[in-house]
Amino acid sequence: MPIFQVTKQAAVQILQAAEQADMKGSALRLAPLRNPDGTIEYNKMGFDQIQNDDVHIHTEDVDIVFKSAYKELLEGAVMDFVEIEKDQFSFIFLNPNDPNFVPPKENKVHE
């Protein structure tokens, strides 16, 4: 399993945001924060240049970077872009390192 993954929907949104911000070709930098209760916040995201000491992941045509100190928080996580409520879309993180993480249920076809 890759260190960190981005869904196709999230990648499309990241690329659009980079273009709108005139940051095309820049990486999306993540700086998650572990709260005292163990949950993880992702409010610190922005476009940046790739640094030599960054963990660099290229997935779905986007570059994601973060400092190695954040690796344990992001290991195995997936970034998605979903409709939370009607016409309200948001990035979400499916992260097994977060104590509140509940794996999504897979739709199984019953014969």
For the whole model, what pTM was predicted? 0.86
Mean pLDDT for the chain overall:
91
pLDDT of residue 87: 87
pLDDT of residue 111: 45
Q: What letter would DSSP give residue 82? A: E
Return d(Cα 44, Cα 69) in angstroms, integer. 15
Mean predicted confidence (pLDDT) in 5-13: 96
Return d(Cα 66, Cα 77) in angstroms, integer. 13
Return d(Cα 106, Cα 109) in angstroms, integer. 10
Residues 56-75 have pLDDT tens digits of 999 999 999 999 999 999 99
pLDDT of residue 84: 84
- Cβ proximity of 18 and 26 under 8 Å: yes
Q: Rounded to the nearest 5 degrees, what angle is found at the Cα of 78, between the Cα atoms of 76 and 67?
A: 65
Ordered by where they begin, the domains of the chain are: 4-94 (2.60.300.12)
Check pLDDT > 80 for residue 49: yes
